[in-house]
Amino acid sequence: MNAALHRRAKELFLDACDLPPEERAGFLAQRCGEDAELRSAVERLLAHDGAPSVVAERVVHEQLASLLDEEGARALPAEIGRYRVLGLLGEGGFGTVYEAEQLEPVRRVVALKVLKPGMDSRQVLARFAAERQTLALMSHPCIATVLDAGITADGRPFFAMERVLGVPLGRYCDEQQLDLASRLQLFLRICGAVLHAHQKGIVHRDLKPSNLLVATVDGSPLPKVIDFGIAKALQPLEPDADITRERGLFLGTPEYVSPEQAAGELDIDTRSDIYSLGAVLYELLAGTTPLERETTRQLGLPALLLRIQSEVPPRPSLRVAEESERALAIARARRTDPQSLARALRGDLDWIALKALAKERAERYQTVSALAEDLERYRRGEPVLARAPSFAYRSARFARRNRAALLAAAAMLVLLLGGIVGTSLGLVRALRSQGAAEEAQRRAETFSEILLRALASGDPLEGGSVDRRVSEVMQQVVAELDAGALRQHPATEAEVQMRVARTLLGNDHPAEGLPLAERALALYTASGPERASDTARARSLVAIHLDRLGRTSEAEPLFRAVLDARRAQQDGDHPELAYALRGLGVVLQHRGRLDEAEAHYREALAMERRLHPEDHAEIASALNNLGSLLQSKGRSAEAEASFREVLEMRRRLRPEGDPLTARALANLAQSLLAQRRTAEAEPLAQEALEMFRRTLPTDHADLAIGWTSVAFAQQASGRAAEAEAALREALALYRRNAAGDHHQVAGALANLADLLLGSRRDEDAEALLGEALAMLERLFPQGHPLAVRCGANRAVALLRTSRPEEALEAAQRAAELGRAILEPTHGLRVQTEKILAQVQSAR
Amino acid sequence: MSPLTPEDITRALERAAEGHGSAASELLPVVYEELRRLARSHMRRAAPEHTLQATALVHEAYLKLVRSAPEGWQGRAHFFAVAATAMRQVLANHAREAQAAKRGGSERLRVTLSGEIADERAGRDFDALSLHEALAKLAELDPQQYRVVELRTFTGLSVEEVAEVLSISTATVKREWRAARAWLAAELGEPGGDGAEPPAPRTEA
């Protein structure tokens, strides 16, 4: 608007404003004519004539009040109580902090925190006095003690405390450009201080960076937690939750206050501090508070409370992943770049921070030491206890132990690569139930808690180790369950049964786990429709056991039932449904119904991609399923593409490498070998072996996957002797881990026999296959696809060693078994029939 | 800032009276320091529940300054003209600082003990900034109207006093004031009025 228009509008407004409203339109039409701009300007003024609030005065008065408020607070009194004021240290939300000198009984310099006017000073002092004895118990180098409290001449409460020369934690870290490791170290020292206070029964209630001051002492940072005891003293004596909520009297800082404290709940305990520590950790890592400061500051109280109580913050790694100036600055302050920072945070650190920030305090770390220990585990590169809200992490860790039944390079027969998925499914499933199991755990009596933990400790998939003593404990538990120890608690018994079954499955003992899983299924089925989800869980577990036992025809209907149940439980995409789709896909793949399996895998994969908009362990697993299937179909180039994506995703998820990434390398190598791209395959296989060695204990069975993969590459490039040595390493590893009959041992025997057949060492091969078949018959009395393969190959070996009658017998048995347990189109069955025909014609 | 001596004040007022271009900025520290001094003394006397009467304080400051005016000074008209501008600058600076402090993410407790909520505070700073922006705009569009607003708003002068300071009729002041209020309300997105003139809140000096 220009000045002339403004003035014209003003004149017309003044002429029109005293006219009766009904005459105004005519007046304006006459005076403004065609000038629509002028008319609208006048109408705008008329509309605001006599506006109810006189905004300018109001704003000016408010501003003056706030200005004077600040000035008044800044006024430097000469003395406060028996302290001589030396200077102003700072101003905070509470009030003003002065540097002051105490003259008696000892002469020392202290910090005096004088609170803003507006509260009942006597009550504050009374509450502080009540806390004083407790506060005096604290003695920790990282805690600044509150020494004294009093009332100023003008009636305001003040606290005298140890003067700390330091800057707020976040500022210190950014100014010093501390990297993640140094930040965590500093944070752990703060945890130590808070733990000390908690052990004395003191909750801070207002932990935030400005109460965590850091100074450089002797060249290293020394953190100090200040203000212990103050927040509690300021808390109303008899807080009324409703009034608190209504009037916004809650004490704390919106970005760091726990939901229960924000809601004005009465029983604030140490876990409230754990939440605040979580928020501090989050900001240290990602440079942003969990609930963004910019947005919390614009919310009204009800909206703010709602956010604090319900909004789950994004994972810290997502905060730094964006490409912006801000992300760049945050990363730079941590001596890295946004991509590397996001990678470093993704996973363990994400989950540790989010676990500490759980809305429900029962879901947080229960003690500061638990939080600190998890961070220490992270620093040592050990698995952390925190887990993602989804089951991604656990599944990744479970799948780590999957037995990759790698495709035999020998062109003769197809080994069941899909076997890997069966295992992984069991593990993924196990994981998922973890959440529910934990829920149950909380409710269960202490003994069952201890029991479950003891049982899980025997599961190498959960960071435990195969340990005879644990196995014995487990057998004892099973015996106790059989004796009816938990008969009164069917749900608990079912969970324990499933837990034991999963541990057995994790150790590749499906035959022993099956009865337990079946018992759990029976228990849940008996407890009616409200247990439908648990029933589906147990049914999946039974199906996985059956699949692993080669009883795929029994597994299939079970998985179909699970799938139907999941579809009935919830519309649309959900993780349980995606899981069930994959489970059925695995069974179908094992049954040789590859097209159906592919359809299920693709549906599951698409769903996982929708459920997880970015990299996710579940997407990688689903892709791996699809890759293995495409490999079985001989579509190696497509399999290669899938495995490459799996590999890349896992490398992003775990840049430091892990057994799952190693497995992806091995699978990719296999798909390249199938395309006769030996030169490309071998380095990948070597890298897989190297990564397995780096990330697993020396004797871990999964090292065998690495050896097998390398062996196949060497075999393909004609280095049979090296390949044989590698396969014998794999066999030895499986034998050491299995201590007896095991399908992995049988698989390793079969792989070695294939190699020997290729070198025309037919007699040696025949002996190995004989051993494998005997083992498989003991393991899988109802037959197993691997037995079909071994039988067919043994027939070839017998034929070559001029034993045609035995060859025919072996081929016929293999073909019969194939017809019994495999679909007519199954590659293995087709190949076996061809071998039978050859053996027959050779006679 | 060291306390201003009566000589400082006198000198500033003289320069303002002489019509120096920089008079407003000369007077600014005078007004500012006087306000600070008054605020501090009030805070010391104040009981915790005491609410500061901002308007009363401002007038106390003006009275003090006016009393310090040297003999032979041209009168309060000039003083108020300059003081209003100084006052506006003080508050504009204050609003900007508050806003900047917020952007800087300073660790202030936004949910305060007195039950005052952060967003109210934020809203106020926003209002203040908008007001100062609107006033700057008005100063360009219509200097006379702007002067009326400035004097009325930042010094709390009555219509008659404004008329005297600006050497215009009281009727003109009333008209300018009415139009300015409508304009400001529209600029600041205030809800519309009912056409009636509400009593202007002001304190009797």
Instruction: Please compute the mean of the pLDDT values over residues A12-41 and round it to a whole number.
Output: 87
Nearest-neighbour CA in chain A from B75: distance (Å):
25
Among A763-767, B69-73, B171-175, where is mean pLDDT lowest?
A: B69-73
Question: Quick one: pLDDT band at residue A127, thresholds 50, 70, 90?
Answer: confident
Q: Compare all CA atoms of chain A with the CA of B40 and give the residue at the minimum distance.
A: A72
Which residues have CB under 8 Å from A374's CB, separation 6+?
A352, A355, A365, A384, A385, A386
Nearest-neighbour CA in chain A from B128: distance (Å):
6
**Position A164 pLDDT exceeds 60:** yes
Contact B16, B23 (CB under 8 A): yes
Q: Which H/E stretch holds residue A147? A: strand A146-151
Instruction: Please compute the mean of the pLDDT values over residues A543-567 and round it to a whole number.
Output: 88
What is the phi/psi pair of residue A148, to 5°? -160, 165
Judged by CB atoms closer than 8 Å, whether chains meet at A17 and B195 is answered as yes
Residue predicted with more confidence, A426 or A491? A491
Question: Of the candidates A47, A53, A248, which has its C-beta nearest B111's C-beta?
Answer: A248
Classify the C-alpha dihedral A361-A364-A366-A367 as positive or negative.
negative
Judged by CB atoms closer than 8 Å, whether chains meet at B49 and A118 is answered as yes
Two structure tokens written together for A512: 């022993």
CB atoms within 10 A of CB B48: 18
Nearest-neighbour CA in chain A from B192: distance (Å):
4
CA distance A571 to B132: 55
Residue with token string 């029962």? A362
CB atoms within 10 A of CB B199: 6
Among A172-181, A753-762, A786-795, B62-71, where is mean pLDDT lowest?
A: B62-71
CA distance A826 to A348: 42
Which one of B2, B51, B109 makes the best mutation probe of the A interface by having the most chain A beta carbons within 10 Å? B109
**Cβ–Cβ contact B96 with A under 8 A:** no
Q: What pLDDT is attached to residue A238?
A: 46
Q: What pLDDT is attached to residue A701?
A: 79
Instruction: Please compute the mean of the pLDDT values over residues A746-755 and round it to a whole number.
Output: 91
Residue with token string 């001051």? A213
Per DSSP, the residues of A402-428 read ----PPPSSTT----TTHHHHHHHHHH
Among A411-415, A494-498, A544-548, A730-734, where is mean pLDDT lowest?
A: A411-415
Contact A296, A255 (CB under 8 A): yes
Judged by CB atoms closer than 8 Å, whether chains meet at B117 and A300 is answered as yes
Q: Mean pLDDT over all residues of chain B? A: 63
Question: Quick one: pLDDT band at residue A109, thresholds 50, 70, 90?
Answer: confident
A35 is catalytic: no
Instruction: Please compute the mean of the pLDDT values over residues A209-230 and round it to a whole number.
Output: 86
- % of residues, chain A, pLDDT over 70: 80
Q: Which residues pair with A83 in a beta bridge?
A: A80, A102
Greatest CA separation for chain B: 51
Instruction: Please compute the mean of the pLDDT values over residues B180-191 and round it to a whole number.
Output: 78
Judged by CB atoms closer than 8 Å, whether chains meet at A62 and B48 is answered as no
Question: Quick one: pLDDT band at residue A155, thresholds 50, 70, 90?
Answer: confident
Q: What pLDDT is attached to residue A644?
A: 95
Q: Which residues pair with A143 in a beta bridge?
A: A225
Two structure tokens written together for A739: 């201590």
CA distance B127 to A169: 33
Q: Find how far residue A617's CA is from the centre of its chain.
A: 10
Question: Quick one: pLDDT band at residue B117, thresholds 50, 70, 90?
Answer: very low
Judged by CB atoms closer than 8 Å, whether chains meet at A72 and B128 is answered as no
Question: Of the candidates B45, B49, B57, which has its C-beta nearest A68's C-beta?
Answer: B57
Contact A94, A116 (CB under 8 A): yes
Q: Compare all CA atoms of chain A with the CA of B141 and give the residue at the minimum distance.
A: A3
Q: What pLDDT is attached to residue A813?
A: 94
**Position A835 pLDDT exceeds 60:** yes
Question: Quick one: pLDDT band at residue A91, thresholds 50, 70, 90?
Answer: low
**How many CA within 13 A on the CB side of residue A418?**
30
Running DSSP on this structure, what letter comes out for residue B190? P
Task: Dump strand ranges (E) for A682-793.
Answer: none
Two structure tokens written together for A62: 């408010």
CA distance A559 to A658: 30
What spatial distance separates the first Cα and last Cα of chain A, rounded to whole Å? 105
Which one of A17, A67, A114, A123 makes the best mutation probe of the B interface by having the most chain B beta carbons within 10 Å? A67
Contact B69, B80 (CB under 8 A): no
* B119 vs A contacts (CB less than 8 Å): 297-300, 304
CA distance A666 to A309: 46
**Position A289 pLDDT exceeds 60:** yes
Q: What pLDDT is attached to residue A581?
A: 94
Judged by CB atoms closer than 8 Å, whether chains meet at B48 and A118 is answered as yes
Judged by CB atoms closer than 8 Å, whether chains meet at A59 and B40 is answered as no
**Position A283 pLDDT exceeds 90:** yes
Nearest-neighbour CA in chain B from A111: distance (Å):
18
Q: What pLDDT is attached to residue A394?
A: 33
Question: Of the candidates A14, A49, A74, which has its C-beta nearest B193's C-beta?
Answer: A49
Nearest-neighbour CA in chain A from B104: distance (Å):
10
Question: Of the candidates A10, A63, A75, which has its C-beta nearest B128's C-beta?
Answer: A63
Query: For residue range A379-418, what is the model confidence (pLDDT) as tens digits?
Result: 887 777 776 543 333 333 332 222 222 112 222 222 222 2
Instruction: Please compute the mean of the pLDDT values over residues A411-427 and round it to a whole number.
Output: 25
Task: Dump strand ranges (E) for A163-273.
Answer: 167-168, 212-217, 220-225
Q: What pLDDT is attached to residue B202?
A: 31
Judged by CB atoms closer than 8 Å, whether chains meet at B94 and A63 is answered as yes
* A247 vs B contacts (CB less than 8 Å): 115
**Cβ–Cβ contact B171 with A under 8 A:** no
* A50 vs B contacts (CB less than 8 Å): 181-182, 193-198
Judged by CB atoms closer than 8 Å, whether chains meet at A72 and B40 is answered as yes
Q: What pLDDT is attached to residue A212?
A: 92
Question: Quick one: pLDDT band at residue A431, thresholds 50, 70, 90?
Answer: very low
Which one of B141, B158, B176 makes the best mutation probe of the A interface by having the most chain A beta carbons within 10 Å? B141
Which range scores top for mean pLDDT: A18-22, A384-388, A641-645?
A641-645
Cα distances from B175 to residues A56, B144, B194, in angstroms, run: 17, 11, 17
Check A69, A154, A206, A467 and give the catalytic one: A206
Residue with token string 């899909």? A418
Question: Quick one: pLDDT band at residue B116, thresholds 50, 70, 90?
Answer: very low
Question: Quick one: pLDDT band at residue A55, thresholds 50, 70, 90?
Answer: low
Judged by CB atoms closer than 8 Å, whether chains meet at A68 and B54 is answered as yes
Which residues have CB under 8 Å from A455's CB, separation 6+?
A473, A474, A477, A496, A499, A500, A503
**Cβ–Cβ contact B175 with A under 8 A:** yes
Which residues have CB under 8 Å from A805's CB, separation 6+?
none
Question: Quick one: pLDDT band at residue A578, thresholds 50, 70, 90?
Answer: very high
Question: Quick one: pLDDT band at residue A296, thresholds 50, 70, 90?
Answer: low
* A66 vs B contacts (CB less than 8 Å): 94, 98, 121, 124
CB atoms within 10 A of CB A529: 7
Question: Quick one: pLDDT band at residue A360, thresholds 50, 70, 90?
Answer: confident
**Cβ–Cβ contact B142 with A under 8 A:** yes
Question: Quick one: pLDDT band at residue A194, thresholds 50, 70, 90?
Answer: very high
Q: What pLDDT is attached to residue A404?
A: 22
Instruction: Please compute the mean of the pLDDT values over residues A581-603 and round it to a whole number.
Output: 88
Classify the C-alpha dihedral B45-B50-B51-B53 as positive or negative.
negative
**Cβ–Cβ contact B149 with A under 8 A:** yes
**Cβ–Cβ contact B108 with A under 8 A:** yes
Judged by CB atoms closer than 8 Å, whether chains meet at B153 and A250 is answered as no
CA distance A387 to A355: 8
Question: Of the candidates A116, A153, A304, which has its C-beta nearest B114's C-beta?
Answer: A116
Contact A509, A426 (CB under 8 A): no
Q: What pLDDT is attached to residue A495?
A: 81
Domain ranges, ordered by start, for chain B: 6-187
Assign 3-class secondary structure to A664-688.
HHHHHHHHHHHCCCHHHHHHHHHHH
Q: What pLDDT is attached to residue A226?
A: 86
* B126 vs A contacts (CB less than 8 Å): none
**Cβ–Cβ contact B42 with A under 8 A:** yes
Which range scores top for mean pLDDT: A591-600, B67-76, B165-174?
B165-174
Which residues have CB under 8 Å from A305's CB, separation 6+?
A245, A262, A263
**Cβ–Cβ contact B192 with A under 8 A:** yes
In our burial notation (b when 16+ CB lie closer than 10 A, e otherwise), range A598-614 reads: bebbbbbbebbbebbee
Cα distances from A461 to residues A391, A546, A700, B124, in angstroms, run: 14, 20, 11, 58
Question: Quick one: pLDDT band at residue A443, thresholds 50, 70, 90?
Answer: very low
CB atoms within 10 A of CB B105: 13
* B110 vs A contacts (CB less than 8 Å): 93, 253-254, 296-297
Q: What pLDDT is attached to residue A718?
A: 85
Judged by CB atoms closer than 8 Å, whether chains meet at B58 and A154 is answered as no
Instruction: Please compute the mean of the pLDDT values over residues A133-143 and round it to a whole number.
Output: 83
Q: What pLDDT is attached to residue A720?
A: 87
CA distance A640 to A665: 11
Residue predicted with more confidence, A500 or B39? A500
**Position A651 pLDDT exceeds 80:** yes
Nearest-neighbour CA in chain A from B14: distance (Å):
26
Residue predicted with more confidence, A173 or B18? A173
Reply yes or no: is the peptide bond before residue A338 cis, omega within 30 of 0. no
**Cβ–Cβ contact B183 with A under 8 A:** yes
Query: For residue range A670-689, what is the model confidence (pLDDT) as tens digits?
Result: 899 888 898 999 999 999 99
Question: Quick one: pLDDT band at residue B41, thresholds 50, 70, 90?
Answer: low
Q: What pLDDT is attached to residue A604?
A: 94
Among A434-448, A531-545, A704-718, A767-781, where is mean pLDDT lowest?
A: A434-448
Q: What pLDDT is attached to residue B60?
A: 63
- Cα angle, residue B90 at apex, residues B86 and B94 outer, rounded to 5°: 165
Instruction: Please compute the mean of the pLDDT values over residues A802-826 and round it to a whole number.
Output: 89
Contact A536, A562 (CB under 8 A): yes
Q: B57 in helix, strand or coil?
A: helix
Judged by CB atoms closer than 8 Å, whether chains meet at A253 and B111 is answered as yes
Q: What pLDDT is attached to residue B8?
A: 65
Q: A47 in helix, strand or coil?
A: helix
Nearest-neighbour CA in chain B from A53: distance (Å):
8
Looking only at the bridges linking them, the beta strands covering A220-225 and A212-217 are antiparallel
